RNA sequence: GGUCCUGUAGUGUAGCGGUUAUCACGUCUGCCUGUCACGCAGAAGAUCGCGAGUUCGAAUCUCGUCGGGACCGCCA
C-alpha cells in the first residue's frame, strides 16, 4: 500500500497466512508473559494481535502509541483462536516494530470504556474518546447518512448550492452570532440562523430545486436535543410548488432514510396529518409523540360552577390513564413531584373504583353531576385514574408535559417504532404578552392561507402554509409555502409592527427582489443532528457530533470562547467594558 | 433570567460531622512462553473544584463562587 502499511489491521484473514505484511496503528493493549509478548494493534478497520518471543522488539512501547509493525501472518492453533474478533484466527509473528509517535502521558481514561466517563473529560479529550470503536462508529454513521441524504436529494433533481456564512443580521427569530467588521467601523456580519433568504433568492434566480447541507448558527440555550451554537440542516426549496409537493418529497426522503438506516417499524406513507390546533388540544404540544396512547381532554366547562378553588375560573385539562388505580402512594407522589418541578403547585387526581365511584385527594370536592360528566368526558372506566391540570393560561402546555411524563413513567413508548406525523396549519402569528404585540410564530416569510384579506382578520386566526414533521415527539423538520406576493408580505409585516420602510431597511435586497417576478415556492429543512439522534436512539444530540460544545457553550478541547488580543480588538473597533 | 441534580488519586466510585479517605481500572517496579478485560507480588498516586461560615472538629452541614448535566424561559 505505502511505506507504512501493506494491509489494514482489520482486513487480515486466513488467506494472508505465510505472507509478510506491514501494518500501522495504535497499540491497544500489551500482554507481557515474560517469554512471549502479545500486543493488539488497532486502526479504523479493526484490531489484530501481533506476537513475539523477542522482548527487545517491544522495548519502550506504550499503549496508544502509533506504531508500524512488520511480520509474518501465521495461523493460530485451534485452541488459541479468539472468535470474539474478526482477525482472531491469525496473528502476526513480529519481526520489526517501529514507534511512529509515542504515547508518553498516562491516559485520562481507558479507550475501551470511554463512554463511561463524564462528558466533561470525554469532550476535553475528544480525540481519545473517538478512538473508541462505538464512538467512532457514530461519526462514521453520520457520514453514511449525510452521503445518502446528498445522493438521494440529488437524485430528486435538487441542485446543491452553498450560501454565505458571513451574512447580515436579521431582526426575527433566534439571537444571532455577530462578527465585527474590520473594514466597516461599528458594523457587523452575522452567522446565518438558516439560509432562508438566500434559498428564496435562488428560487427568484430561477433555480428550480435547491438543496444544501447547511450549517446554521443560533445563540440560544441548549437542550439534550438541541445543541448550543451550530448545527446542520438538509435545507431544500422548490419552485412552483405547493405544500403537498414539499411534503411528498420530504416523505420520500425521510421514509427512505429511516428505512435504510434503521430496523425499527416506520409509519407508512403518507404520514398522518394533524392540525396545530388539534395537536395542541389532544396532546398539549405541537410535537406529539404518537407512540404515547394518552391524550388530553378539556374539562373546563364541567367546572364552571365549582366551589373547589384550584379549578375555579381557570382552564382545566384532564389526562385519563387506564388500569393504574392500584399504583402505590409513592408512585403518585413522584407524579406530584414532577408536576412541582414544572412549576405546577401540585397535581390533583381521582382513582376510579370498581363500582365507578371515585377515591383520591380531589374526590371530596366533586359534586355528583361533576362526577357523571367526568366519566363521560374522559371515558373513565374502573381502575383508571384521571389527572387534573388546572391553570389560567398554561394548562394546555402543562398537560402536554404531564402526558409525556406519564407516558415515560408508565413505559408506554415502544422503543422499536418511529411514529412520524405532520403537524400543519400553524397560526401565522401569536400574541406576545411581554411586548404586547403580535409576533410571527414561525417564519415571517411563510404564506398565510386566504392571504388576500388577512388584514381584516384577527391576527391569531390567520393560518399559514406552515408544517412540521414530528417523529417520536421530536421536531425533525419545519417547512412552509413561502410568500411570493409583495402585498401580502407587506400586510404580514404590518401586523407584526413593521411598516414598509422597516421592511426595506431590514430585508433590503430581498424586498427589492420581490418586484422582479417571484415563483411560488416552498421548502423545508431537516435537522440532521436530530435525525441521527433518533436513528441511533441516542439520548443526547452531542453523541452524533465529532466535536460538540458543552451545554453552556464552551469547547473544552479548544478552550473557546477565548479572549482575543488588543490588536485584534482594535482592528474591529471593539472595546471590552 | 429561573429551578433541580452534580463535583473525592489519571479515570470510575465508596464514605455524608471524628477514618491512616474505600475499592476497581490505569501508571511504575519485579516475576511469568499462549494471552486476548492475561495472571501473581509490590509501590507510587488525593491541598476531597475554589472561597467563606457553623462547629472543639468539615470531604461530610450552610452560604457564595466556578465547572458539568437536566429542565422551564428562550429557540423551531
Residue of A427, A436, A331, A317 lying closest to A377 (CA atoms): A317
Strand B within 7 A of A442 CB: yes
How far is residue A544's CA from residue A534's CA, in Å, rounded to a whole number? 10
Taking a C-beta distance cutoff of 8 angstroms, is the pair A374, A386 a contact?
Answer: yes
Q: How far is the CA of A110 from the C1' of B18 (A)?
A: 37
Q: How far is the CA of A493 from the C1' of B56 (A)?
A: 72
Residue of A414, A406, A408, A415 lying closest to A324 (CA atoms): A406
Cβ of A241: how many Cβ atoms within 10 Å? 21
Cβ of A367: how many Cβ atoms within 10 Å? 14
Strand B within 7 A of A222 CB: yes
Q: How far is the CA of A118 from the C1' of B8 (A)?
A: 15
Taking a C-beta distance cutoff of 8 angstroms, is the pair A91, A16 a contact?
Answer: no
In A452-569 the beta strands, taken as DSSP E runs, fall at: 466-471, 474-481, 521-527
Nucleotide nearest to A93 (CA to C1'): B34
Q: Is the peptide bond before A445 cis (omega within 30 degrees of 0)?
A: no
Which regions in chain A score pLDDT beneath 50? none
The region, left, alpha or beta by phi > 0 then psi within -120 to 50, assigned to residue A186 is: left
Report the Cα–Cα distance between both ends of chain A, in Å, rounded.
58
Taking a C-beta distance cutoff of 8 angstroms, is the pair A128, A50 a contact?
Answer: no
How far is residue A489's CA from residue A465's CA, in Å, rounded to a whole number? 14
How far is residue A94's CA from residue A365's CA, in Å, rounded to a whole number? 83
How far is residue A572's CA from residue A188's CA, in Å, rounded to a whole number? 9
Distance (Å) of CA A54 to CA A58, A76, A166, A482, A494: 8, 18, 59, 72, 83
Helix (H, G, I), strand (E, B) or coil at A166: coil
Cβ within 7 Å of strand B: which of A 369-398? 397
Predicted pLDDT of residue A408 = 85
The grid cell for A162 is 452553498
How far is residue A477's CA from residue A471's CA, in Å, rounded to a whole number? 9
Predicted pLDDT of residue A198 = 95
How far is residue A268's CA from residue A255's CA, in Å, rounded to a whole number? 8
Residue of A475, A100, A107 lying closest to A286 (CA atoms): A475
Strand B within 7 A of A168 CB: no
Strand B within 7 A of A76 CB: yes
Q: Longest C-alpha distance within chain A, in Å?
A: 92
CA count, 13 A, side-chain hemisphere, A539:
0
Taking a C-beta distance cutoff of 8 angstroms, is the pair A176, A214 a contact?
Answer: no
Taking a C-beta distance cutoff of 8 angstroms, is the pair A171, A196 a contact?
Answer: no
Strand B within 7 A of A46 CB: no
> Residue A96 forms beta bridges with which residues?
A70
Residue of A208, A210, A206, A181 lying closest to A196 (CA atoms): A210
The grid cell for A186 is 461599528
The grid cell for A411 is 413505559
Place of cell 414544572: A342
Taking a C-beta distance cutoff of 8 angstroms, is the pair A92, A51 a contact?
Answer: yes
Taking a C-beta distance cutoff of 8 angstroms, is the pair A384, A324 a contact?
Answer: yes
Residue of A296, A281, A390, A394 lying closest to A346 (CA atoms): A390
Nucleotide nearest to A28 (CA to C1'): B36
How far is residue A44's CA from residue A25's CA, in Å, rounded to a whole number? 8
Residue A542 is classified by DSSP as: G
Distance, C-alpha A277 to centroid of its chain: 24
CA count, 13 A, side-chain hemisphere, A99:
13
Nucleotide nearest to A340 (CA to C1'): B3
Cβ within 7 Å of strand B: which of A 480-539? none
The grid cell for A195 is 439560509
Q: Which residue is nearest to nucleotide B68 (CA to C1')?
A: A120
Q: Which nucleotides in chain B lie closer than 7 A to a protein CB? A: 1, 3-4, 10-13, 25-28, 31-39, 67-76
Amino acid at each position: 500500500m505505502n511505506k507504512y502499511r501493506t494491509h489494514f489491521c482489520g482486513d487480515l484473514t486466513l488467506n494472508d497466512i505465510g505472507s509478510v505484511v506491514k501494518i500501522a496503528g495504535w497499540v491497544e493493549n500489551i500482554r507481557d508473559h515474560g517469554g512471549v509478548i502479545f500486543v493488539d494493534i488497532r486502526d479504523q478497520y479493526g484490531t489484530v494481535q501481533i506476537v513475539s518471543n523477542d522482548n527487545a522488539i517491544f522495548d519502550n512501547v506504550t499503549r496508544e502509541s502509533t506504531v508500524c509493525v512488520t511480520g509474518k501472518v501465521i495461523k493460530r492453533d485451534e485452541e488459541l483462536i479468539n472468535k470474539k474478533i474478526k482477525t482472531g484466527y491469525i496473528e502476526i509473528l513480529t519481526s520489526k516494530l517501529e514507534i511512529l509517535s509515542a504515547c508518553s502521558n498516562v491516559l485520562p481514561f481507558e479507550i475501551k470504556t470511554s463512554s463511561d466517563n463524564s462528558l466533561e473529560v470525554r469532550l476535553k479529550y475528544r480525540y481519545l474518546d473517538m478512538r473508541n470503536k462505538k464512538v467512532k462508529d457514530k461519526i462514521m454513521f453520520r457520514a453514511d447518512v449525510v452521503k445518502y441524504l446528498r445522493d438521494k436529494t440529488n437524485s430528486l433533481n435538487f441542485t446543491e448550492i452553498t450560501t454565505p456564512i458571513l451574512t447580515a443580521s436579521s431582526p426575527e427569530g433566534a439571537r444571532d452570532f455577530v462578527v465585527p467588521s474590520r473594514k466597516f467601523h461599528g458594523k457587523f456580519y452575522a452567522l446565518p440562523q438558516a439560509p432562508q433568504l438566500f434559498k428564496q433568492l435562488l428560487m427568484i434566480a430561477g433555480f428550480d430545486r435547491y438543496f444544501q447541507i447547511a450549517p446554521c448558527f443560533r445563540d440560544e440555550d441548549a437542550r439534550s436535543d438541541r445543541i448550543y451554537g451550530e448545527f446542520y440542516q438538509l435545507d431544500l426549496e422548490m419552485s412552483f410548488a405547493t405544500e403537498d409537493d414539499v411534503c411528498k418529497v420530504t416523505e420520500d426522503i425521510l421514509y427512505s432514510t429511516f428505512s435504510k438506516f434503521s430496523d425499527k417499524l416506520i409509519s407508512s406513507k403518507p404520514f398522518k396529518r394533524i392540525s396545530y390546533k388539534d395537536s395542541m388540544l389532544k396532546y398539549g404540544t405541537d410535537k406529539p409523540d404518537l407512540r404515547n396512547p394518552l391524550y388530553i381532554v378539556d374539562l373546563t366547562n364541567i367546572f364552571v360552577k365549582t366551589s373547589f378553588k384550584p379549578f375555579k375560573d381557570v382552564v382545566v385539562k384532564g389526562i385519563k390513564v387506564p388500569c393504574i388505580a392500584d399504583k402505590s402512594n409513592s408512585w403518585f407522589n413522584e407524579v406530584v413531584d414532577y408536576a412541582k418541578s414544572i412549576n405546577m403547585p401540585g397535581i390533583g387526581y381521582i382513582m376510579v373504583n370498581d363500582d365507578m365511584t371515585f377515591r383520591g385527594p380531589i374526590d371530596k370536592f366533586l359534586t355528583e353531576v361533576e362526577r357523571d360528566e367526568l366519566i363521560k368526558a374522559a371515558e373513565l372506566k374502573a381502575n383508571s385514574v384521571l389527572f387534573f391540570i388546572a391553570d389560567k393560561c398554561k394548562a394546555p402546555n402543562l398537560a402536554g408535559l404531564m402526558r409525556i411524563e406519564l407516558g415515560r413513567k408508565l413505559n408506554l413508548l415502544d422503543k422499536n417504532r418511529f411514529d412520524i406525523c405532520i403537524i400543519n396549519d400553524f397560526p401565522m402569528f401569536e400574541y406576545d404578552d411581554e411586548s404586547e404585540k403580535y409576533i410571527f410564530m414561525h417564519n415571517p416569510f411563510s404564506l398565510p392561507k386566504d392571504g388576500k384579506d388577512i388584514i381584516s382578520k384577527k391576527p391569531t386566526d390567520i393560518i399559514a402554509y406552515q408544517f412540521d414533521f414530528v417523529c417520536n415527539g421530536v421536531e425533525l423538520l419545519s417547512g412552509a409555502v413561502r410568500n411570493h406576493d409583495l402585498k401580502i408580505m407587506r400586510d404580514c409585516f404590518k401586523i407584526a409592527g413593521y411598516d414598509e420602510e422597516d421592511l426595506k431597511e431590514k430585508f433590503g435586497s430581498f424586498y427589492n427582489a420581490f418586484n422582479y417576478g417571484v415563483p411560488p415556492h416552498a421548502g423545508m429543512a431537516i435537522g440532521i443532528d436530530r435525525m441521527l439522534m433518533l436513528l441511533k436512539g441516542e439520548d443526547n444530540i452531542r453523541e452524533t457530533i465529532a466535536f460538540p460544545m458543552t451545554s453552556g457553550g464552551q469547547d473544552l478541547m479548544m478552550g473557546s470562547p477565548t479572549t482575543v488580543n488588543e490588536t485584534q480588538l482594535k482592528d474591529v473597533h471593539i472595546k471590552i467594558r
